[in-house]
Chain A
Amino acid sequence: DIQMTQSPSSVSASVGDRVTIACRASQAVGSWFAWYQQKPGKAPKLLIYAESTLQSGVPSRFSGSGSGTDFTLTISSLQPEDFATYYCQQAKIFPYTFGQGTKLEIK
């Protein structure tokens, strides 16, 4: 199975900050990669798919980059509604696998 490892596991930041979350796959997944946001008590929400394509309706302050095994989610200027947990996921090979999550907290 492909292992997905996110870093950091948690991060504290302030409104207006730029934040970067990393995800590393144990083997190359190409563009078969996605990022999700999850708020407490809610289902996950797709933010970015195919490595760097913004899902419809997602603010442009979110961006994704990377290739092969190393990927990055960047939030350019944090807004209050962005404080949540973020997950990466590979969709290249079954079983699909998620990272362990990165909790973004208010400083």
Chain B
Amino acid sequence: EVQLLESGGGLVQPGGSLRLSCAASGFTFSSYPMSWVRQAPGKGLEWVSGIDGSGGDTYYADSVKGRFTISRDNSKNTLYLQMNSLRAGETAIYYCAKRHIAAVGFDYWGQGTLVTVSS
């Protein structure tokens, strides 16, 4: 059974940093690109960042480029999102998501971890 379990969320002040983790199980982690998607309270879904299976190629939304870093440790089956210079408007639930084998869409999602950016 595929499972994705995020952790690392919490309360952080504007300008602060946080590192999210997503522990994966139930599939060959290194074979699949992964992404982070966030959802502000009462708002829609926003794709944040993606990474290929090897970790060699990374992609970012313009809104987070230069501040967020996605990475993965395939030996630990874990995806990461390092978030620096956080802004108040980035309060959201952050989900990790596994790309579908057909390379279109995300077929498995974690339960999400809440990041609150507030002073």
Contact = CB atoms under 8 A, between A and B. Distances in A.
Interface of A: 1, 31-34, 36, 38, 43-46, 49-50, 53, 55, 87, 89, 91, 94-101
29 contacts: A32-B104, A34-B104, A34-B106, A38-B45, A43-B109, A43-B110, A44-B37, A46-B100, A46-B106, A50-B102, A50-B104, A50-B105, A55-B107, A87-B45, A89-B45, A91-B104, A94-B59, A95-B47, A95-B60, A95-B61, A95-B62, A96-B35, A96-B47, A97-B47, A98-B44, A98-B46, A99-B44, A100-B44, A101-B44
Contacts of A97: 47
Q: What are the 7 tightest A-B residue pairs by CB atom distance, in nearest-first order?
A: A34-B105, A43-B109, A49-B105, A94-B59, A96-B47, A98-B45, A49-B104
Interface in B69-119: 95, 100, 102-107, 109-112
A31 B112 CA distance: 28
B102 to A, nearest CB: 6
Contacts of B50: 94, 96
Question: Interface size for chain B: under 10, 10 to 19, 20 to 34, or 35 or more residues?
Answer: 20 to 34
B62 A46 contact: no
Given A33-B104, A34-B105, A95 B59 contact: yes
